Amino acid sequence: MAETAIELKGISKSFGAVHANRNIDLKIEAGTIHGIIGENGAGKSTLMSILYGFYQADRGRIDVSGKKAAINTPSDAIALGIGMVHQHFMLVQNFSVLENVILGAEGEALLNTSIARARSELERLERDYGLEVDPDAIIEDLPVGLQQRVEILKALYRGADILILDEPTGVLTPAEADHLFRILEQLKEEGKTIILITHKLREIMAITDNVSVMRQGTMVATRKTAETSVEELAELMVGRRVLLQVEKGEASPGEVLLSVRNLTVKDSRGVTMVDNVSLDVRAGEIVGIAGVAGNGQSQLLDAITGVRKAISGTVTLDGEPVDLTGAADPADLRARGMAHVPEDRHHVGLVLPFEENENAMLGYHRQAKYLNGPFLNIEAIRADAREKIEKYDIRPPDCRLKTANFSGGNQQKIVLAREMEQDPKVLIVGQPTRGVDVGAIEFIHKRLIDMRDQGKAVLLVSVELDEIRSLSDRILVMFAGRVVGERGPEASEGELGLLMAGVEEKEAAE
């Protein structure tokens, strides 16, 4: 019998009328990687937040290494050797890596002594686990993959033997995700226990030893990973068979609805991020942009949608020019038929302290259907939000709930519902299924295909290469701010990967 690192017995937790966890039993074997999967709102993050001391269970018991544990705060969890890396990182952006690692765990009367000791320990941890990162780098200057390493280092510095990772690959490129998995394997080999919360079933199959499935707040199954399949796990998650492949007919492209010519965009440092890019998107087609994150895709979408000023170039929307001087009004573009699902839902797509119904019409609040004379029609706004909640299966189904209290995947569905339901001519979509469960991914993909078939022009950016290949009628590949190649959806992952790595067009085709 393997030693048990964590055992949860009869854990229940409610938030008002919402039962987030219902009588959960779970065993985590020591020295293994244990996956926890489930739909958005299934209760996964709530359960792990109870284990980490953010919440207290209404009922139930937690045993750590075979002994009953009282975990009322994260400090209690840390003292028991439990660390957590959150989906949205808990880092001070203008602090250095070293300062973030020791923050709250200085341990010495003199800060200089703490810093010297921490630097030495940090170097050891980086060396032992392949977590190299400059200890003096400022967090806001680091890419997300390195920021995640800092979160793992924080937990290890505090002595974590049990590490919880909540959606760790949601913001990572495929290469960064592969490196993370190598780190997790190394941690397992050193005797650490890893609990991995993810929506990505192929990651579960690739990295975990055991997997538990949650549905609507209950634990419905635990499997040895080697003895299950993606299809079985998807069905356990959703309670029905799930279509894992996108079904679509041939596209019938019409007139050009979005045209970009010689677009150049620089970032706040003056670095060219979009370099002389030209592209067209026609009615009735999905054009996907593939590329490793950081190669200009985000800045391209920002310039097209009026969020960021372009240096040069032209954009036309349904034949009419878009002002790229910095005076472009996203509200005007919405009125002209452009909808935008931004890559960063927290900072661009939503106002988290607002209620769900307020975010459900944000940016469209001047439309007549939301007004009663000069005032907002609150009843009409809430009725509209309830319709979207039902259509997009947003959980919990409460339009008065603060948006911050929804899971990340349900927050994403709030943004998608708001933009897709406006019947736009052109839909600009960044990372449509980031942090979204397999059942919701199926729904979102169907909606994108439906919009294409209704004659909409869809420009799609995603770091998920499978998503790009499944949905796109044409694929453009960006590298270092330039479009370096165009392919059809039949292009292999290897061919696209070469283009994404900067291999020239002729070489990638050979």
Domain ranges of the chain: 4-238, 256-337+424-509
From the list 26, 34, 23, the residue with the least C-alpha distance to 164 is 34
Rounded to whole angstroms, what are the CA distances from 21 to 148, 388, 467, 468? 28, 25, 31, 35
pLDDT of the residue at 42: 85
Helix runs in 164-319, H state only: 174-189, 201-207, 230-238, 297-304
Dist. CA 392–CA 379, nearest whole Å? 20
The region, left, alpha or beta by phi > 0 then psi within -120 to 50, assigned to residue 480 is left
Give this prediction's pTM: 0.70
Q: What is the pLDDT along the chain (510 residues), one digit of tens a residue?
A: 579 999 999 999 998 888 899 999 999 999 999 999 987 778 898 999 999 999 999 999 999 999 999 999 999 999 999 999 887 778 998 999 998 988 877 665 445 666 788 888 888 888 888 788 898 999 888 877 788 889 898 999 888 999 999 888 866 766 777 888 998 999 999 899 999 998 788 889 999 999 999 988 999 999 999 999 988 998 888 777 665 667 888 999 999 999 999 999 998 778 899 999 999 999 999 999 998 777 899 999 999 999 889 999 999 999 999 988 766 688 899 999 999 999 888 888 999 999 999 999 999 999 999 999 999 999 999 999 999 999 998 988 999 999 998 887 889 999 999 999 999 999 999 999 877 777 788 888 999 999 999 999 999 999 888 889 999 999 999 999 999 999 999 998 888 888 887 876 555 455
From the list 116, 152, 100, 101, the residue with the least C-alpha distance to 131 is 152
Q: What is the CATH number of domain 256-337+424-509?
A: 3.40.50.300
Dist. CA 180–CA 280, nearest whole Å? 36
Complete edge-to-edge strand list for the sheet that includes strand 457-461: 338-341, 426-430, 457-461, 285-290, 474-479, 482-487
pLDDT of the residue at 502: 82
Dist. CA 327–CA 335, nearest whole Å? 16
* DSSP-derived secondary structure letter, 96: B
Q: Are strands 482-487 and 338-341 parallel, antiparallel or unpaired?
A: unpaired
Fold of 4-238: Rossmann fold (3.40.50)
From the list 44, 121, 122, the residue with the least C-alpha distance to 86 is 44
pLDDT of the residue at 146: 85
Do 4-238 and 256-337+424-509 have matching folds?
yes
pLDDT of the residue at 508: 47
